[in-house]
Amino acid sequence: MTLLATIVIAGAITFGLRLSFILLWGRVAVPIWFQRALRYVPPAVLTAIIVPELATWQDRLDLSPANPQLAAGLAAALVAWRTRSIPLTLAVGMAVLLGLRLVTG
Amino acid sequence: MPSPGRKQQFFAGLRAEAPILLGVAPFGLIFGALALNAGMPAALVQATSSIIFAGSAQFITAQLFGAGASGLVIVMVVFVVNLRHVLYSASIAPYVKHLGLAWKVALAYLLTDEAYAVVITYYQRTRSDPAGPGSPDRRHWYFLGAGLALWVSWQLSTLAGLLIGARLPESWPTGFFLPLTFIALVVPALRDRPSVVAAAVAGLIGLAGAGLPFKTGLLLAALIGIVAGTTAERRDQRAAARRVA
């Protein structure tokens, strides 16, 4: 698969996912169990991406305080919880990471 | 109160999206730079921003491409990463059901995390008939304004990243914007116990499976997390039923 073909297919899939229910609403009966399970897709998938990402420091898993991404991630989570603001979460998380890296060298 | 016209709706949506653009524009700039560094041709980097038009999926596409992953793996990961958009689609669908196909296609294309967050809030706090029963619902113009604001800033910031990309210092932890953005999206949604259970289980299994190839650990963690969330919900409902009885 060429890179262009990959991008086009990935784009078509993304568009299809976004269009899915908008197009099918009222035309197709969706089973209740499926609708229920769908509700937990975002917290499950996104957290499964976030946690290993935060825990990976200098190309290996590091759950010690020497990994500044853990503190930065926690600070960002706190800001996200309190403010629900995406820009503020990004700013605080990045500031804590850069600050800790300065302190620890 | 007169019914807000199309133009007012459009610009209100645009304005509501403005603060989010501040957070998204650097993200687009970094995507342009990172994708170029990963070895993607500049034209395809720009094309990715309009064809896929989903920040995290684009970052992962560039990273996987740089790591030499096959197209099939990239496509599968993009599918998993963007699966949450089905939820947005289901949640927005009742509000746009009266629109024609062209509108549905255009709005679905613009249904990013950031547009969804702004638009669903607007739909939930406003009436479909602002000037009394039977008056027209023009809120899709607000959706269009918010969606286009994000689209334009995403294309321009990607272009800026392509132009100044090589000058970004190597030591900058720009990749950290990826987990931070996900934190900003997922944490505010953890307001009930089953969602917290789904996230906690998925996070732990994701950590344990971090060494598995081709993001299979991620897929496994997500599926088990979804089952855990659904199970917790059923348990809570049974407990509530017992309290009532």
Tens of pLDDT, residues A94-105: 999 999 988 876
Residue B187 and residue A44: Cβ atoms within 8 Å? no
How many beta-carbon contacts under 8 Å exist across A and B?
A: 267
Comparing CA positions, the residue from B100, B99, B145, B106 lying closest to residue B122 is B145
Question: Would B132 be classed as within a structural domain?
Answer: yes
| Confidence band of B25 (pLDDT split at 50, 70, 90) | confident
Give the integer Cα–Cα distance in Å for B123 and B65.
Answer: 38
| Res B148: pLDDT | 97
The residue-averaged pLDDT of B75-98 equals: 85
**Which chain B residues are within 8 Å of A18, Cβ to Cβ?**
85, 88-89, 108-109, 111
Task: Domain count for chain B, please give it.
Answer: 2
In A25-67, alpha helices (H): 32-38, 41-55
Distance from CA of A103 to the nearest CA of B (A): 15
Residue B21 has pLDDT above 60, yes or no: yes
Give the integer Cα–Cα distance in Å for B72 and A55.
Answer: 27
Residue A22 and residue B85: Cβ atoms within 8 Å? no
Residue B71 and residue A2: Cβ atoms within 8 Å? yes
Same domain, B46 and B136: yes
Question: Would B229 be classed as within a structural domain?
Answer: yes
Q: Which residue, among A34, A49, A59, would best test binding to B if mutated, counting the most B CBs under 10 Å from its CB?
A: A49
Residue B83 has pLDDT above 50, yes or no: yes
Distance from CA of A66 to the nearest CA of B (A): 16
| Res B1: pLDDT | 45
Between A35-49, A54-68, B186-200, the lowest mean confidence (pLDDT) is in: A35-49
Question: Would B216 be classed as within a structural domain?
Answer: yes
Average pLDDT of chain A is 88
Does residue A82 sit at the B interface (CB-CB below 8 Å)? no
| Confidence band of B30 (pLDDT split at 50, 70, 90) | confident
Does residue A74 sit at the B interface (CB-CB below 8 Å)? no
Residue A71 has pLDDT above 50, yes or no: yes
Residue A43 and residue B82: Cβ atoms within 8 Å? no
Same domain, B149 and B239: no
The residue-averaged pLDDT of B7-33 equals: 84
Q: Look up tokens 């403010």; give the residue.
A: A83
Give the integer Cα–Cα distance in Å for B76 and B66.
Answer: 16
What is the domain range of residue B52? 6-170
Measured between CA atoms, the residue of chain B closest to residue A52 is B207
pLDDT in tens, B157-184: 999 999 987 565 556 666 687 688 778 8
Give the integer Cα–Cα distance in Å for B3 and B136.
Answer: 8
Question: Would B177 be classed as within a structural domain?
Answer: no
Same domain, B151 and B212: no
In chain A, alpha helices (H): 3-24, 32-38, 41-55, 68-83, 86-104
Same domain, B88 and B126: yes
Same domain, B20 and B67: yes
Give the integer Cα–Cα distance in Å for B178 and B57.
Answer: 10
Same domain, B90 and B38: yes
Same domain, B237 and B206: yes
